[in-house]
Amino acid sequence: MKTIKLFWLLNLFAAALMAALNVSAQVSYDRILNAADEPENWLTYNGGYSSQRYSRLNQLTPENVDQLQLKWTLQNQVFGAWQSNPIIVDGIMYVTERPNSVMALDAITGRVFWKYRHVPADNALVCCGANNRGVAVLGDKVFMGTLDARLVALDRINGQPLWNVEVGDVSLAYSVTMAPLAVKDKIIVGVGGGEYGIRGYVVAYDAETGEQAWKTYTIPGPGEPNHDSWQGDDWEHGGAPVWITGSFDPDLNLTYWGVGNPGPDWNAGQRPGDNLYSDSVIALDADTGELKWYFQFTPNDGYDYDSVQVPVLADIVFRGTPTKVMMWANRNGYFYVLDRVSGEFLVGKPYVTVNWSSGLDEKGRPIPTPQPQGMPTYPGNQGGTNWYPPSYSPRTGLFYFSAWQDYATIYRAEESEYEPGRAFLGGGFSVLAPAPGAPTIGIGRTNPINNWTNEVGHASLKAMDPQTGEAVWSYDQFDVSDSGMLTTASDLLFTGGREGYFHAIDARSGDLLWHVNLGGQIVMAPVTYMVDGVQYLSVISGHALSTFALRDR
């Protein structure tokens, strides 16, 4: 008897000890800070604060990548573009499903532990689909923004809601589609609604309580610097949303955010001025939200050139000098390198045909060359690129992203009046087509037959050298691509596209190494992780999340 009792006591003690030890297995800020050191996990939307989407894992190599085998598939239960980016923590994957569900699953088998459903309010309004791009994790919690502009905190172990706060007014068409960013003890998100006359902002919440810590508008109010880049009350409904996850430099204590288009979208003449900080990158103090610097890519934009790209940070030797840079392939067709300490412009060159501007001046400001009414503007409305997350490999020193080549739009501007909660677009556009009435490209792909063809536009994966601002090589696809990038320490590059192909490419040469037809559009960026010594690769195509690893031996 006595021995049995002692046995149970010891067991209890062991369990308590294990639970205590588990605290260290939480996703602490330190762990996220050093995410690169634990490549078996994928801890943030962009794989770490510098958003390089580069993994040190090297089990998959150019030599064995053709031995990849499907390990499991998770079928989505809802229709629509699945833009979510999985997060992987110690063998557990967290992925969102539209409109606003979170699932925790076993990263080895794809079987689901729990699912949390948030049903957005009926009046939630988003321009371009009920998208959600994923969660943030911090401590024992997981965080999701919602279409009805809320931020929800869940227990990471059992999926129970812990707090749920309002980020914006849903009746005014504020929304959150981005994956939040966890920095120190805060959860930071931005708001969507650039097509509905919102006034954008970035806002931080205490991760424990959901209490608001700071909020910084992307359009300065009266009395604030640069308010005079707007006239009259244009600033009140000037858009400038933030709908893609930013980056963080812990040494500078700065968070970086890409800011979206000014509103109304296509009538720049209706809102004279530079319309700051629309189409800019803004550097905000991580503790206070204070604006430290900004760089505007497209002043007084009339083409919907949101600068909602992921700010990719790297410490490189730039033309002989060690420099903290930020690399940015912008929707406006230019590739930029900025000094991320000061926001100073270092490099800027067009990577696709650009005719809205004839070039950049010495400070990086574009020289505008608006096209006559009815004539095509390059790049077109969806941009030379868009929100698709790029990758930077410190091994190759190259920056990789999806560009849209030979794609143009004919814009039409018209006066429009702001009405709360309604589209505020200021005109319209049509994509340049090779024959009257011919099919063109839309926001996503729903047709298995490509009847628009590459004559309307096509993808070109570009490997950019930040030293020169020029592509070292390109890899073209027949259709366009909204897929992000992943690079690894074995110089592999993984990406997708609207055709449903998942490609493995040599990150140095641009040669195709392996590809598989997964059948549905890939509109997220692949991720990689390791469990029990096996390197996995996950990608979402259509309505299926597929996970690959090397063939079992």
Partner 1 sequence: MMSPMKNLPMCQFFTNSRTYVPLLLLLLGLQQGLAQELGDHQYTTEAIEEGSRVYTQQCALCHGPQGALIDGVDLRRGQFPTVRSDADLRNLISSGAGEGRMPAFELRDDEMNGVIAYIRAGFDADGIAVKIGDPGRGQILFQGKGECASCHRVNGVGPRTAPDLSFIGAIRTPASLQRNLLDPATALLPINKSVRLVTRNEETIVGRRLNEDTYTVQVIDSQERLRSLKKSDLVSYEISDAPSKQPTTLSSDEVADVIGYLLTLRGLQ
Any idea which residues carry the catalytic annotation? 304
Determine the 3-state secondary structure of 551 from DSSP: coil
Side-chain-side CA neighbours of 445 within 13 Å: the count stands at: 25
By CB under 8 A, tell whether 195 contacts partner 1.
yes
**365 or 422: CB nearest partner 1:** 422
- H, E, C per residue of 365-430: CEEECCCCCCCCECCCCCCCCCCCCCEEECCCCEEEEEEEECCCEEEEECCCCCCCCCCCCCEEEE
**220 or 264: CB nearest partner 1:** 264
Tell me the residue ranges of DSSP E strands in 171-274: 181-183, 186-190, 201-206, 212-217, 247-249, 254-258
Single out the residue of 450, 467, 474, 509 in contact with partner 1 (rule: CB under 8 A): 450
Determine the 3-state secondary structure of 147 from DSSP: coil
**Cα dist. 202→199, 274, 469 in Å?**
11, 20, 30
By CB under 8 A, tell whether 13 contacts partner 1.
no
**264 or 343: CB nearest partner 1:** 264
Q: How far apart are CA 95 and CA 115, in angstroms?
A: 10
Give min distance, CB of 458 to partner 1, in A: 9
- Select the span of 19-27, 323-331, 399-407, 415-423 touching partner 1 (CB under 8 A): 415-423
By CB under 8 A, tell whether 436 contacts partner 1.
yes
**Residues that contact partner 1, how many (by CB under 8 A):** 54
∠ CA 353-357-358, nearest 5°, is 85
Single out the residue of 435, 532, 533, 553 in contact with partner 1 (rule: CB under 8 A): 435
Residues 460-479 that bind partner 1 (CB under 8 A): 476-479
Give min distance, CB of 46 to partner 1, in A: 26
By CB under 8 A, tell whether 125 contacts partner 1.
yes
Helical H runs in 23-90? 29-33
Do 416 and 264 touch, CB atoms closer than 8 A? yes
**70 or 78: CB nearest partner 1:** 78
Phi first, then psi: give them for residue 439, nearest 5 degrees.
-65, 150
By CB under 8 A, tell whether 75 contacts partner 1.
no
Single out the residue of 58, 231, 358, 430 in contact with partner 1 (rule: CB under 8 A): 430
By CB under 8 A, tell whether 447 contacts partner 1.
yes
By CB under 8 A, tell whether 515 contacts partner 1.
yes
Single out the residue of 222, 223, 448, 533 in contact with partner 1 (rule: CB under 8 A): 448
**249 or 479: CB nearest partner 1:** 479
Single out the residue of 110, 139, 394, 439 in contact with partner 1 (rule: CB under 8 A): 439
Residue 474, judged by CB atoms within 10 A of its CB (0-12, 13-18, 19+), counts as: middle
- Select the span of 34-42, 389-397, 449-457, 536-544 touching partner 1 (CB under 8 A): 449-457
By CB under 8 A, tell whether 10 contacts partner 1.
no
By CB under 8 A, tell whether 437 contacts partner 1.
yes
> Which residues, other chains included, contact 144 with Cβ-Cβ below 8 Å and sequence gap of 6+?
96, 100, 102, 118, 132, 135, 151, 152, 154, 180
Write out the two tokens for 413: 């501007």
Write out the two tokens for 221: 């109010």
Give min distance, CB of 479 to partner 1, in A: 7
**32 or 410: CB nearest partner 1:** 410
Residue 229, judged by CB atoms within 10 A of its CB (0-12, 13-18, 19+), counts as: buried
- Interface contacts to partner 1, rule CB under 8 A: 78-80, 98-99, 122, 124-130, 195, 412, 414, 416, 422-423, 425, 427-431, 434-443, 446-456, 476-479, 497, 499, 501, 515
